[in-house]
Chains A and B, each alone.
Chain A
Amino acid sequence: MQKIFGITRKKVAGISALSLAAGVFIAGSSQTNANAALSSSPVKLVVQFETGSSGQVIWPAVASAFTKKHPNVTIEFATVTNAAKGGSNLQVLIADGAPDIGLVPLNSSVYTNMVAGKQLVDLSTIFETAKLSSRMGPPAVAFKQADGNYYAVPQAVQYYNVLWTNPGAIRASKAVVPSTKKFASIESLIALTNKCKKAGYEGLAIGGNSTFQVSWMLDAMLPTAVSASELDNMFKNFRATTPLTANYTDSGFVKTLTALQTLGKADIYQKGFLGQTPAQAQALFAAGKSCMYLGISGDVGTFIKAATAAGTMNFTPGFATLPGVVAGTSSTLTPFYGTAYGVPQKSKNQDWAIELLKYFSSDEGQTVGTIKAGGAVPISTTIKKANLDLLPPLVKSILDYVKRNPVKSGWTSEVPGSVSQAVINPLIQQMLGGSLTPAEVAQKQQDRILEVRKNGL
């Protein structure tokens, strides 16, 4: 009888069969254990989302579909305000009573600190086993951390810097939005708002007293004034490990700030905009009193839907994009995947929380929640066309535009807020108020970057 390493073929076959059986048993056991974690005993999950955001309509829809599949699960909601989500929410998410799924905006110190402090549960299983990574495509790279793990799942793709337009007001002002939806120059945007003002409308409504909205315009216009490599360096150079090859005092950044100052001096915004919240600016636009409003694609499922339903908005808006810094260039919409959710280490139902996030980010979950309930662009690129057709026409038109005009990420979307938005936003407000020059704003931003490179976040 032929022997292998001195063991008969029959014995080898026997050992192999036993090994196989043992393997199957072990695999079966681990499967059983995994399922045991998702037992049928009653479970209560607490999910946190931002008040007044699309999460408020998306999550209840997802929860309803999920609990139908898993009747032993009940889902409750906790809310967090826009002001708290990137700051004080950290204390909520690391406390003993933390929600099972928490809002962790990717560009916030909450996310950065929780990842650094290992306070979030690894969600690699969603990105790898459930193939979210391949379904999302390149944007998924931003979610992978230095340790190779994933800690947050995005809700939707929001396109920022959508200039919502009021066709009736623009027509009445005898102005025209370019058919390409791109303003050729800063001057052409100024000319349109001047016509609007002459006709009794406000130009561009914006929530100037918020901690974010004036810096959105910087996000949109900066890529037109700096090279791709400079922009890429600006995304990363807050880390001391990245060589500082693009300074904020360089001409591209200063030119962008100067363009914002020019727009401010030309009075394109509504009267008193630095004292108004985004909600007040939205109300002005919805009431038909301004020609434009600076918003995001997600507005379709939130304020536009609500104002239309309430009868306070009786027109269907169009949209355009901001001009580039240099005449002849045009800005792009800026995609943001950063409204994301993680599972805090303090969650008492981590397995079920991961299961819910897995469903939330699945093509089915995205269709139920993000598309149908939220009217927002899903994160997955593999969703069936028939389901994408369920998106509101306005959102579909934005998606069509994006297909023809590739988008570029915004600086404040990519860089942690404590280095970017929280620093630059009040400085731009000061510049628009006339107390700082573009060069001074740029210098202060540069100082902050140098400080963070030296001392860390």
Chain B
Amino acid sequence: MNSVFTKHADVNPPSSRRIFLKGNVKKGKKIGLNRTNARTAWVFLTPVFLLLFTFLTLPAINSFRLSVSQWPGLGPLKYVGADNFRKVFSEGKLSHSVFVTFFYSFSVSLLVVAMAAIMASAVSSGIRGGKFMKVVWFFPGIAPPTAVAIFWSTSLQPYTGIVNAILNTIGLGDEFAPLASEETAIYPIILVSVWASVGFAFLVLLGATESIPVSLREAAFIDGANVWQHFTKITLPLIKPVLLTIFTLEFIWHVNGFTMIWAMTQGGPGFATEILPIYAYKEAFVFARFGTAAAISVLVGIFLVILGALSTRLSRSGQLE
């Protein structure tokens, strides 16, 4: 956008007929746009703003309104101030749910980014069968999450699941039941989430990797860099901003994740896999406490906005470097 505005500014008539928009390239610098172009820009931007207002701002306002109200799912809202937030913090379930959510989201995001970076680097370096892998690795990402969850939860059943059948053939027995234990239930969910998410991250990182100038790679190899050095000293630093963006996106998506865990364990056994969205869902639709559910959602929303802003700043500083 900035380059378009700048381009127009270069060819535009005298400043008296220009409208100045604040750009974000350099602090305080204004980018000019003539009246006709500004009008055109607003015509194109208005539907976007309307959509954002309808589907983002209004629900956000409504969530906040609900978070300071008591509401069982029907009837008028009853204003209760910060009671719902107080309740959420005092009940003791929040800290457990926050821990599970962060453990799950961080683990999935880290593994997805790490695996995707390795896979992208491998394919980009011209590994044999690269084109085939591009398609195959993206497949799990296309499958509906509910189907993926049901497939894997069935596969992980003792005696009958395919995972146990494989374990049995290599002499490890067929009684492996990770979803049945509070201590282990989160791990298969993390692995399945990675399996389902890595394809998208791989494609984006592949694009970033392939945009690295060939001359840089060649220079590195001429200088005697091995594959590992090339990956750590050339590829990773150059795709760092994209890596950070993908990590942030994956983290946000999994903090908001619901389907995979709900379909695999419904947050159980007990509360072992109850991430924040499941906690909020149960508050609203099992206990009919929509106010506390909204309070949880508002807290998560605020955290994710801060995280997004931080990530954008880090990513930008990475780009400037």
Contacts and interface: CB of A to CB of B under 8 A. Distances in A.
Interface of A: 83-84, 86-88, 90-91, 94, 109, 112-114, 116-117, 119, 208-211, 271-276, 280, 284, 289, 417-418, 422, 426-427, 429-430, 432-433, 435-436, 457
A289 B174 CA distance: 15
A86 to B, nearest CB: 7
Given A112-B288, A432-B269, 7 more contacts: A88-B285, A211-B266, A271-B180, A272-B180, A276-B157, A280-B154, A433-B181
A359 B270 CA distance: 42
Question: Which 3 pairs, one residue from A and one from B, show the smallest C-beta to C-beta distance?
Answer: A272-B177, A87-B285, A275-B179
B123 interface: no
Contact of A113 (B73, B177, B182): B73
Contact of B158 (A87, A116, A272, A427): A272
B265 interface: yes
Interface in B265-288: 265-272, 282, 284-288
B191 to A, nearest CB: 15
Nearest to B271: A426
Interface string B152-163: 011011111000
Contacts of A272: 157-158, 175, 177, 179-180
Given A209-B269, A274-B269, A275-B269, A113 B285 contact: no
Interface of B: 72-75, 153-154, 156-160, 175, 177-182, 185, 265-272, 282, 284-288
Q: Which of A94, A109, A116 has the most CB of B within 10 A?
A: A109
21 contacts: A84-B285, A86-B286, A87-B286, A88-B284, A91-B73, A94-B74, A113-B288, A117-B74, A209-B265, A209-B266, A272-B157, A275-B177, A275-B178, A275-B185, A275-B269, A276-B157, A289-B159, A426-B270, A426-B271, A433-B272, A457-B288
B270 A418 contact: no
A452 to B, nearest CB: 10
A64 B8 CA distance: 70
A450 B180 CA distance: 31
A429 B268 contact: yes
B24 to A, nearest CB: 41
Contacts of B175: 271-272
Contacts of A90: 73-74, 285, 288
Contacts of A112: 288
A418 B288 contact: yes
A429 B288 contact: no
A426 B278 CA distance: 13
Contacts of B72: 109, 113, 116-117, 457
